[in-house]
Amino acid sequence: MMKRFIQCSIIITFAILKTPESIGQNITGYLKLIEVIDQKEHFESEKRTRIAELREKIEAKNQKDNYYVRDLESLHKIYLKYNFDSAIHFGLLMGQEARRLNREDLEILSRIKIANTLISAGIYGPALDSLNKVFEEKIPVSHKEEFFFTKAKLFFDMADYNGSFYFHQLNDSGLIYLDSALIHTKDQSLHGSYSGLKLLRKRNFDEADMVYSKLLKEFSLDDRQFAVDASAYSYILEQKGNKKEAIDWLVEAAILDIKTSNKENLALIKLSQMAYEQGELDISSKFLLSALEDAITYGAIQRKFQILDILPVIDAAKLELTENQKIKFQVLSIGLVILSLFIIVFLVVVLRQYKKLKEARDLLRRSNIKLKEANLIKEEYIGYFFKSNTEYMQKLEKLTSGIDSKLINNKIHEIKPLLAKYNQKKERQTMFNAFDSAFLKIFPDFVPQFNSLFLEENQILLKDNELLNTDLRIFALMRLGITDTEKIALILNYSVSTIHSYKSRIKSKSIKSNEEFEDAIKQISSI
């Protein structure tokens, strides 16, 4: 309660000190949104509970049929805007099960879901690859609307992200696919949403205003669709000069995004910019930090860079504000000798705030470094994951094709030699080599920095053909943030007790204590 009172006091004080035109403008909406942001963990907890209940319900069915693929689709949907790794996992699992059941229609659906997930994370190249592998003439009627809208959204996002040079070409491609989505849309509310988006992308704001106004007032939209359409309507109102109402709609969209734990909260980023333009620096910073937390949690690359472009501007404005206040009070102290004591006290407070702000900036700088490193790791290993998965599927398809051929030609005795060609040990070593190569691209000095933690006689010497060995891989995984021994054991194909033995043996030879050793591993620098 006290925290809320202080927040309200700060906001109202800022409003009073502003010019008459901005007094009270959108303050009620901002306060309402701040209250929802403060309850974010509560909504997250509710989301986790719903996910757990859904997974428990699906696991209880214990089935591996067409309905199971639809269950995987439900899991993908609940994770889509909440957790990238889980969403991509269930999208890929849908495709795997569809191929096992020989259901081309469900495999096409899985590719659409995977593309949707990649678009949400700002990974546009692989998203386009996933959609381009779908032949339009093979798409079932039931999936055409989703396919065409997903492709339209991809081109619109790329147009907005890549800037003016390719904007018109990408935007026009998006409009072509949006027209196709409109043709196959049966739902009236979606038809209205797509029609409004088409007018918006064509910058026909007057007609778009009428379409979205009718859509939002006359249709009962689900929370996610309402948030999307409210954000679009807000943009239209802003373009028409009605900024106050635009902010009100954007606040409603941001609130719904937070309540539904949607981590791709573009409305919150836009509101931060608007609050900054109104001079509401503290509010702007709070909105943006909340959006940054969501983007980091989800892994939305384009949103993280978008936020990190804005943060320094707000930070600089706050610093400039502090510096200006300091100068004014210093000048005032010369003429107001009687109040000098009070001015000195005030300056001490300001200097402390300045120190805290500087510490916050240093923390943000360190966070930026960690964020860039996390982005590099994610990008490198997403590429490694897709490459490895593709190679594995190609080998599996080749093996399956060979077995099918032997069975058709009644050459059963030739199947065993065919299976014998698949060398699990060799495949695992290939996987390790790929992992080692990807890891050393990110941490090229890992081995010498690791060896610096030991006396010379206890340092690890690699063979000529080795990039890493088992000892180094265990701690390479730990440097990537995988600290759970069971997960490490599963990845390296060892027992948990064996991994414990490796770790204990290595730590015992180090010049560092056990706790210092693990901290030193985490501090090994990336490229």
Whole-number Å distance between alpha carbons of 179 and 171: 12
Cβ atoms of 486 and 473 closer than 8 Å: no
Mean predicted confidence (pLDDT) in 163-189:
90
DSSP summary character for residue 105: H
Residue 211 has pLDDT above 80, yes or no: yes
Closest CA to 103 of 52, 64, 75: 64
**pLDDT above 90 (res 234):** yes
Q: What is the pLDDT of residue 297?
A: 77
- pLDDT recorded at residue 490: 87
Is the distance from CB of 286 to CB of 34 less than 8 angstroms? yes
d(C-alpha 332, C-alpha 343), whole Å:
8
> Using the 8-state DSSP alphabet, how is residue 80 labeled?
T
Are the CB atoms for 149 and 181 separated by under 8 Å? yes
How many CB atoms are closer than 10 A to CB 519?
11
* Mean pLDDT confidence for 264-287: 83
State mean pLDDT over 266-292: 83
Residue range 434-463: average pLDDT?
89
CB distance 261 to 293 below 8 Å: no
- β-strand partners of 510: 454
Query: Which residue would you say has higher pLDDT here, 182 or 437?
Result: 182
Residue with the two structure tokens 């053909």 = 465
For residues 212 and 204, what is the distance between their CA atoms, to the nearest angstrom? 12
What integer is the mean pLDDT of 351-357?
Answer: 78
Please tell me the least confidently modeled range out of 207-211, 327-331, 404-408: 327-331
Q: Locate 391 and state its tokens.
A: 């190679």
Pick the closest to residue 134 from 155, 114, 164 (CA basis): 114
Q: Residue 312 has what pLDDT?
A: 61
pLDDT over 80 (residue 383): no
Residue 438: what residue type?
A: A
User: Which of 289, 285, 292, 291 is closest to 268 using CA atoms?
Assistant: 291
Higher per-residue confidence, 459 vs 360: 459
How far is it, in rounded angstroms, from Cα 208 to Cα 73? Answer: 32
pTM, 2 dp = 0.55
pLDDT, residue 5, reads: 42
Question: What's the mean per-residue pLDDT of the chain?
Answer: 81
Mention every residue, 6+ apart, whose C-beta is less than 8 A from residue 340.
Answer: 333
Which of the two residues, 362 and 223, has the higher pLDDT score? 223
Q: End-to-end alpha-carbon separation of the chain, Å? A: 46
Question: Cα dihedral angle (155, 160, 161, 166), rounded to 10 degrees?
Answer: 70
- Where residue 163 falls (left for φ over 0; alpha for ψ -120 to 50; beta otherwise) is left
Among 308-317, 418-427, 456-465, whose mean pLDDT is lowest?
A: 308-317
Question: Which tokens belong to 220?
Answer: 């009962």
More confident call, 189 vs 296: 189
The highest-confidence range among 20-34, 228-242, 328-342, by mean pLDDT, is 228-242
Residue pLDDT, tens place only, 360-372? 677 767 666 666 6
* b/e 436-467 (16+ beta carbons within 10 angstroms → b): bebbbebbeebbebbeebbeeeeeeeeeeeeb
Question: Which residues have C-beta within 8 Å of that of residue 149, sequence separation ≥ 6?
Answer: 177, 178, 181, 194
Instruction: Return the higher-pLDDT residue of 324 and 68.
Output: 68
Kindly state the percentage of the chain with pLDDT values over 70.
Answer: 77
Which range has the top average pLDDT, 16-30, 141-155, 277-291?
141-155
Tracing tokens 């790794």 back to the chain, one arrives at 85
Confidence label for 12 from pLDDT (cuts 50, 70 and 90): very low
Mean pLDDT of 5-23: 43
Residue with tokens 């689709």: 73
Q: Which two tokens stand for residue 494?
A: 């060892």
- Taking 60 as the threshold, does the pLDDT of residue 4 lie above it? no
Q: Pick the residue with more confidence: 453 or 515? A: 453
Coil, helix or strand for 510?
A: strand
> What does the alpha-carbon distance between residue 103 and residue 95 come to, in Å, rounded to a whole number?
9
Is residue 137 a contact partner of residue 104, using CB atoms and an 8 Å limit? no
462: left (phi over 0), alpha (psi -120 to 50) or beta: beta
Q: What are phi and psi of 521, to 5 degrees?
A: -60, -45
pLDDT value for 364: 67
- Report the length, in residues, of the chain: 527
Mean pLDDT, to the nearest integer, of 79-100? 90
Does the pLDDT of residue 260 top 60, yes or no?
Answer: yes
Q: Tell me, what's the pLDDT at 373?
A: 59
Whether the Cβ atoms of residue 480 and residue 469 lie closer than 8 Å to each other: no
Distance between CA atoms of residues 148 and 151, nearest Å: 5
pLDDT at 445 over 70: yes
Distances (CA, A) of 159 to 133, 152, 154, 275: 22, 11, 9, 26
Digit-coded pLDDT (tens) for 304-340: 455 555 556 555 544 554 555 566 666 666 666 676 6
Question: How is 163-181 classified by DSSP, letter by letter?
Answer: -HHHHHHHHHHHHHHHHHH
Other beta carbons less than 10 A from residue 175's beta carbon: 16
Tell which residue, 441, 39, 512, has the closest CA to residue 260. Answer: 39
| Residue reference for tokens 């030991």 | 454
Instruction: Report which of residues 278 and 305 the model is more confident about.
Output: 278
